[in-house]
Homo-oligomer: A and B are copies of this chain.
Amino acid sequence: MSKMPDLIRNVPFDEITLGQTASLQRTLTWRDLELFALVSGDVNPMHLDPEFAATTRFHHLIAHGMWGGALISALLGTRLPGPGTIYLSQELKFLRPVSLGDTVTATVCVIELEPEHRRVVLDCRCTDQEGNEVIAGRALVIAPSEKLVREAPHLPEVTLVPEGPSHGAC
């Protein structure tokens, strides 16, 4: 049976209000650690090698800090303000580690509006399933001028094939 397409819609500057928020939730999986390492080249063993991670101050595998940054940027790019947004700057403070299996809620909240240039300042936060703040920061964007509702792009299925022992890392 054909599924209804997912829609992606933006919030143009004129519809944005102070205090407006958007959130998304993701649970950190082993696949996220591997994909983030592949796309960034960050093969730090703190994120990929359980034996090494056991020797660190965190005692187990933790997320790449910028994975939380990527969730925040996803909110800005797909929800608030969404497609058409120009990303100008981002500050991120990494307050606590995110562990494998943690469920992270990323939230952005509009705290300043500058109508002359359609600039929007957003407070940005990630919290874990216990309510601990793991990332705090601030983003500056230019919001789109026009409303857009569009079918979300299709993403491919991804298959990760473990590498044989005779190969080096990517």
**Taking beta carbons and an 8 Å cutoff, which residues of A are in contact with B?**
1-6, 8, 24, 26, 32, 34-49, 52, 56-57, 64-67, 69-71, 73-74, 77-78, 82-94, 150, 152-163, 165-170
Contacts and interface: CB of A to CB of B under 8 A. Distances in A.
Contact of A46 (B67, B71, B83, B158): B83
B26 A41 contact: yes
Nearest to A37: B155
A129 to B, nearest CB: 18
Contacts of A52: 83, 150
A170 B155 contact: yes
A111 B152 CA distance: 42
11 contacts: A8-B45, A38-B156, A41-B78, A44-B78, A46-B83, A52-B83, A65-B87, A66-B69, A154-B162, A156-B160, A159-B161
A70 B36 contact: yes
A56 B10 CA distance: 14
